[in-house]
Amino acid sequence: MRLDNLLTVLVFCLTTTAHLDQHHSRPHLPRTISHQRAQHATRHRPRRSGLFQDIGVTLSNLFTSRQKSVRRVSPRSIERRAVNANGQCVLKQAGGLEPIPPGQPTSPATGTLTRPTTTGRGGATTRTPAATPTSTSGTYKKQFDSSGSDFFDSWTFFADADPTHGKYLALFNTQPGKMLSQASNLIGFDSSGNALMRVDTTPQVPGNRKSVRIESNQSFNGGLWVMDAVHMPVGCGTWPAWWTHGPNWPAGGEIDILEGVHDNVFNQASLHSPDGCTLPNDFGGTGTMLNGNVCSAALTGNSGCGIKNNDPTSYGAGFNANGGGVYAMLWDTTGISIWFFERQSIPSDLTAEKPQPSKWGLPSARWPASTCDPFVFNKDHTAIFDTTFCGDWAGGAWTAAQNDGSPSCAQKTGIPTCAQYVQTNGSSFSEAYWAVKSVKIYQLSN
């Protein structure tokens, strides 16, 4: 057969078989995790039938075969941070106490409830790529929404030793960990659909008491981070927080949005940064500056620079009695700002998911970009909920007065140490739970 005739037949056959291809769905390609490289998954070719299939196969053997298309499945990197500078993990002894490795700085009581020396709170994390940094113009578009019955699908369950030497045990990781948490009655939902994160209330435990720490699957650079909760953990021995951090603490930065210990009355927001970030005296917020002007973790014994919210409903029992409220953290090119809105004072634009921070008035805490560029000192942040028992801050402040001047937990309980109290008073932690309506993260869309 002449070559031009053969080509004519080939074009006719291929054109005809293309019209007869049957459309069918491709099988679901599961997302995989690899420490070395992304896995590849090939698409299936459409099937041909009858005579045209035979012709197509025969002619494809004569000429170059069509190349299969390939879909790349993006890896989800896993980062693990050492508990201390020597790369040592803090493990539970048979007696239940967690030793501090040689050379690890301790945190004696400071006489105040501002955050003392810690070792950072990083740990194992699974992230998707961070979003692009924001500008200061445009409208906010929601990029992360964790609420309702699938709330916990957006989070990874932490499963490492407590980086702050706390008395909690959180051996719940990824999907199996979610089921273990449910079986232990540590997570669930209330009648209003709020996500619950509880602690173990067994009367006595020989070692650490079970708790939950979760970290968002997605990370972001900049944006508006909004958390609505109706209840937060409170009580002697507790150290709850809603916060964000980046990789390689403190190089990636840490922003503590809602945090405190024991029976504190006022929230303390803090930044923990690499060297170079400072907080000016006229920072532009309504709160009270704590710990001085330096935010560097290395230069402040890891305490960073904090700002106290002077609203008695911003934390603990006052927060819970008032039906909770909303915390919003804005991270843009002007700096980092934190607002707290009581339940009855939540801005309507925030409720409508069309936030306009420029109309909210002064924040309670603010770190201006002029002395601490947020995109230099913070990178690829994830959101975190946790309830630590004791640890560097709450353990060290056991004998210190609350931040409203009321008696210390040592005085209230008559028990000399935080660890002893936590291990022997499970019934005291009935109020040590989170009830969260939603977490939403917005990015500016120009």
> Rounded distance, CA 194 to CA 351, Å?
16
User: Are the CB atoms for 224 and 328 separated by under 8 Å?
Assistant: yes
Backbone phi, psi, residue 278, to 5°:
-135, 165
Establish how many alpha carbons lie within 13 A of residue 240's alpha carbon, considering only the half-sphere containing its beta carbon: 29
Backbone phi, psi, residue 415, to 5°:
-105, 130
User: Are the CB atoms for 205 and 426 separated by under 8 Å?
Assistant: yes
Work out whether the CA dihedral 375, 379, 383, 389 comes out positive or negative: negative
Q: Measured between alpha carbons, how far is residue 84 from residues 80, 87, 395, 443 in Å?
A: 12, 5, 18, 34
Establish how many alpha carbons lie within 13 A of residue 437's alpha carbon, considering only the half-sphere containing its beta carbon: 14
In the set 79, 98, 254, 353, the catalytic residue is 254
- Hey, what amino acid is at 101? P
Residues sharing a CB contact under 8 Å with residue 94, sequence separation 6 or more, in sequence order = none
- Short-list 165, 170, 145, CA closest to 155: 145
Strand partners, 445: 139
Residue 128: DSSP 8-state: B
Active site residue 79: no
In the set 79, 98, 215, 259, the catalytic residue is 259
> Rounded distance, CA 258 to CA 432, Å?
15
User: Are the CB atoms for 212 and 386 separated by under 8 Å?
Assistant: yes
Active site residue 254: yes
Alpha helix stretches (DSSP H) within 280-387: 316-321, 348-351, 374-377
> Rounded distance, CA 183 to CA 235, Å?
25
Residues sharing a CB contact under 8 Å with residue 56, sequence separation 6 or more, in sequence order = 13, 14, 17, 48
- Write out the catalytic residue numbers: 254, 259
